[in-house]
Amino acid sequence: MSPAGADAVLLKESIVPPVVAITQETKTSSGLIRDELAPQTVVEESAAQRRRTPRRSLIVVLPENHVVPADAVTRHLSATGDAEAVDVILACAGQPSGIGALQRRVRDLQVLLAPAGTSREDLRELAMTQAPGDIVTLLNGTLLGG
C-alpha cells in the first residue's frame, strides 16, 4: 500500500466477542440447584470474523485556516484499490471551507465539526473514536496561503 503522503497509519486490533453459553439449572441428589453447561453451545460470529480483509478508514484532519487536500485524498483512495471499502472521516475545526470537491469525490464522507480553535491532536482523537476501520490512515489539511 502506498500511503500517498499520509502522516501515519494505525492498526487497530478488532475485539472478538466472547463465546455465549447456554446454561440450565439441574437439581442434584441433595436437592440443591446448580448451573451446568447445556449440551449445545452458541457461538456468536462477529462481522470481523466473517470479513477476510481488514476494514480501512481514512481520517483527514482540518485545523482552522486549513483546506482539504482533495487531490491527496483521491490519490490515497486510488492507491488502496477499493475506494468503496474505505471510510473517510473529515475532522474540522470551525466551519470548513472548500470541502465541496471532496464531497463530490467521496460518496459517504463523514464530517465531524469541532469548535474553532480545536487543536490538531484533539481533532485526531475525535476522529479516531469514530473510525470503524481496523487500519486507520491520517492525513493533514494544507495551510491556507502556504
Going from N- to C-terminal start, the domains of the chain cover: 20-49, 51-143
Mean pLDDT of the region 73-93: 85
d(CA 25, CA 3): 56
Residue 58 burial (CB count, 10 A): 24
Q: Would the pTM of this model clear 0.75, i.e. be above it?
A: no
Which class does domain 51-143 fall in? alpha beta
Average pLDDT, the chain: 74
List, for residues 1-26, the tens digit of each pLDDT value.
444 556 656 655 544 444 444 444 55
List, for residues 106-116, the tens digit of each pLDDT value.
888 999 999 99
The dihedral formed by the CA atoms of 82, 86, 91 and 96, expressed in degrees to the nearest 10: 40
> Phi and psi for 124 in degrees, rounded to 5?
-60, -45
What is the chain's length? Answer: 146
